[in-house]
Amino acid sequence: MEPLTDAMVCLRGVGKSFTFHSRGLSVEALRGVDLEVRRGECVALDGPSGAGKSTLMRTLYGNYLAGAGTVRVRHGGELINIAGADPHIILEVRRTTLGYISQFLRVLPRVPTLDIVAEPLIAIGTSREAARERAAELLEKLNVAPALWSLPPATFSGGEQQRVNIARGFAVPCPILLLDEPTASLDAANADSVIALIEEARARGTAMIGIFHDAQVKARVATRQLTLTRSS
Amino acid sequence: MSRAVVLRASGLRKVFGGRVVACADIDFELAAGEVVGIVGESGSGKSTLLRCLAGLAAPDAGTVEIAIDGGERVDLWQLDEVARAQALRSALGLVHQNPRDGLKLGISAGGNVAEPLMVSGIRHYGRLREVALDWLERVEVPRRRIDDLPSTFSGGMQQRLQIARSLAPGPRILLLDEPTGGLDVSVQARLLDLLRSLVRELGVAALIVTHDLGVARLLADRLLVMLRGRVIEAGLADQVLDDPQAPYTQKLVASMLRI
Ligand SMILES: Nc1ncnc2c1ncn2[C@@H]1O[C@H](COP(=O)(O)OP(=O)(O)O)[C@@H](O)[C@H]1O
Ligand SMILES: Nc1ncnc2c1ncn2[C@@H]1O[C@H](COP(=O)(O)OP(=O)(O)O)[C@@H](O)[C@H]1O
Ligand SMILES: [Mg+2]
Ligand SMILES: [Mg+2]
């Protein structure tokens, strides 16, 4: 089947197994997954723990190698198959097209919060000044106190780190965004500001795939759902 | 999309004493501006590989091509000694694990930075001193230490000085052999952060050997995994660390807990 002409993401027959050589063991995490996501859609991945939701996201991001099938994303005008793509191409797709907000922030020693958020913009050629301005705007929206902006987030609370992570993930307006439990460690008020950012992105036409542990959050942001079951 | 290749190793092989195969069948490319990490246990041939790339050890087979000024690539080990030294001087910098191997201990900090510039043609004393001061500042060595001997510096500061010395001539390729090896953890963090921002600012392509997978994740775009002289796995850095394929890489990652 050919992908829809306006598909932003097109997965066909995606399979993934993990082989643990030391234990002579293989675990099948995904089998025959098909999914197409268009502009402005937000697909919630559903299914029990261990069903392969995170694995699917990571395979889409090129963080895990697909074992079978094609994982195509629209980059510029073209559909590019992430499965088997050269690392340089994956990196380029990630810079401008494919955003990924993981559950945890990987902190860099000594880098202040404002620069952590501004960095992805600077990497695509935005001026330092404009990047910092956008970073400040996002941190403000996510209620990160300005007093924290000049500090590295290593000592921040889990919720604060997650909001820095989300600000960084939204810095570049990527046309495709992957969200792995973005509101997991946040209270209701802070979750609300994240939801507002997600809704804003969707209104702009961003194609999104997300894992939302909270049923209410899911009901508010998802336009449809894909249910995964344990493959093995 | 395809960035220029600044270094290419093909079929590289180095054998010591007729039996120790330190490097075998090594093929890889380094693109302009990218950071590639090399990981692998001690004795796997990482330093030998860097020495072959940096013109310090002649390979027994294979070629090393590096891009020189005009972007044209030359076959390093086909050049005569003088031409090779000249090509390397402006195109490639090497940072040794031990700063004492990369610095001139008998001359001042400023002299260490200025010397490679003098060799490449800058002669004016005031200008050299200015450039040296600028580099000391970039690597966070206080300007007032310019006339001090490197032996009076701490290990971390010596390493930062070595980095300044290797970057001052403006190479497009930087090779680093376990640059954080002998340093305390807190000093390592500072050095890593500095390396990370310098490499990005200057757009220099870097090949960094490290035994620390955390460092590899932090700095590298791509990773090569070496075992017994061979590259047994290569790929996007986060992919190799999170979804390792080879049995050896899986063991290596598992031994590092969470990174
Ligand atoms: N990096 C990995 N290495 C080995 N096994 C993994 C890895 N990531 C996920 N798995 C396995 O894949 C299966 C699916 O996990 P995951 O994608 O995390 O599920 P979910 O997000 O739906 O809870 C589980 O059996 C899990 O142990
Ligand atoms: N100059 C040399 N003479 C003889 N053997 C050497 C020499 N340099 C390295 N070797 C050997 O080559 C192998 C690879 O060493 P090396 O490149 O230093 O590995 P690594 O840097 O990964 O620890 C080792 O077995 C080492 O003993
Ligand atoms: Mg999960
Ligand atoms: Mg070594």
Is the predicted pLDDT of residue A232 greater than 60, yes or no? Answer: no
Ion ligand 4: residues, CB < 5 A: B 47
CB contact B1 to A (< 8 Å):
yes
- Indicate yes or no: CB of B245 within 8 angstroms of CB of A65: yes
Token pair 């889409």 in the structure block, residue:
A60
Beta carbon of B58 within 6 Å of any ligand 2 atom? no
Residue ranges per domain, chain B?
Answer: 5-258
Beta carbon of A97 within 6 Å of any ligand 1 atom? no
pLDDT for residue A2: 64
Beta carbon of B47 within 6 Å of any ligand 2 atom? yes
Indicate the DSSP class of residue B235. Answer: E
Is the predicted pLDDT of residue A21 greater than 70, yes or no? Answer: yes
Token pair 């002299």 in the structure block, residue:
B111
Is the predicted pLDDT of residue A58 greater than 50, yes or no? Answer: yes
Which domain covers residue A157, as residue numbers?
A: 7-227
* Residues whose CB is less than 8 angstroms from the CB of residue B228 and which lie 6 or more positions away in sequence, other chains included: B21, B44, B45
> What residues of chain A lie within 8 A of the CB of B190, using their CB?
109-110
Q: How far is the CA of A175 from the centre of ligand 4 (A)?
A: 43
Distances (CA, A) of B164 to B36, B85, B224: 20, 20, 26
Q: Hey, is A206 helix, strand or coil?
A: coil
Token pair 């598992």 in the structure block, residue:
B254
Mean pLDDT over all residues of chain B? 93
Tokens of residue A71, six digits: 């994982």
- Among all bound ligands, the one having the nearest atom to the CA of A46 is 1
Distances (CA, A) of B30 to A124, B6, B112: 20, 6, 28
Q: How far is the CA of B6 from the centre of ligand 3 (A)?
A: 40
Of the pLDDT bands very low, low, confident and very high (cuts 50, 70, 90), residue B1 is: very low
Which residue has a Cα nearest atom 18 of ligand 2?
Answer: B47
Beta carbon of A22 within 6 Å of any ligand 1 atom? no
Strands A176-180, A207-211: pairing kind: parallel
A232 part of a folded domain: no
Burial string for A41-58 (b: 16+ CB within 10 Å, else e) reads bbbbbbbeeebbbbbbbb
Is the predicted pLDDT of residue B75 greater than 60, yes or no? Answer: yes
- Indicate yes or no: CB of A21 within 8 angstroms of CB of B239: no
CATH (one of 3.40.50.300, 3.30.365.10, 3.65.10.10, 1.10.3720.10) for B5-258: 3.40.50.300
Task: Return the bridge partners of B71, or none.
Answer: none
pLDDT for residue B136: 96
| A178: CATH | 3.40.50.300
- Indicate yes or no: CB of A21 within 8 angstroms of CB of B250: yes
pLDDT in tens, B15-60: 999 999 999 999 999 999 999 999 999 999 999 999 999 999 999 9
Of the pLDDT bands very low, low, confident and very high (cuts 50, 70, 90), residue A106 is: confident
Strands A7-20, A68-75: pairing kind: antiparallel
pLDDT in tens, B193-247: 889 889 888 999 999 999 889 889 989 999 999 999 999 999 999 999 999 999 9
- Rounded distance, CA B182 to CA A172, Å? 38
Please state the rounded mean pLDDT for residues A171-187.
94
Beta carbon of B38 within 6 Å of any ligand 2 atom? no
Q: What is the pTM of this model?
A: 0.94
Beta carbon of B97 within 6 Å of any ligand 2 atom? no
Of the pLDDT bands very low, low, confident and very high (cuts 50, 70, 90), residue B169 is: very high
> What residues of chain B lie within 8 A of the CB of A87, using their CB?
221-222, 235-236, 239
Of the pLDDT bands very low, low, confident and very high (cuts 50, 70, 90), residue B71 is: confident
Neighbours of A214 (CB within 10 A): 15
Of A177-186, B98-107, B182-191, least confident by mean pLDDT is B182-191
Q: Report the gap between the CA of B82 and the closest CA in chain A (Å).
A: 35
CB contact B243 to A (< 8 Å):
yes
A68 part of a folded domain: yes
pLDDT for residue A161: 94
Number of domains in chain A: 1
A139 part of a folded domain: yes
Q: Which of B2, B218, B243 sits opposite A63 (nearest CB)?
A: B243
Q: Report the gap between the CA of B239 and the closest CA in chain A (Å).
A: 4
A2 part of a folded domain: no
Which residue has a Cα nearest atom 26 of ligand 2?
Answer: B43
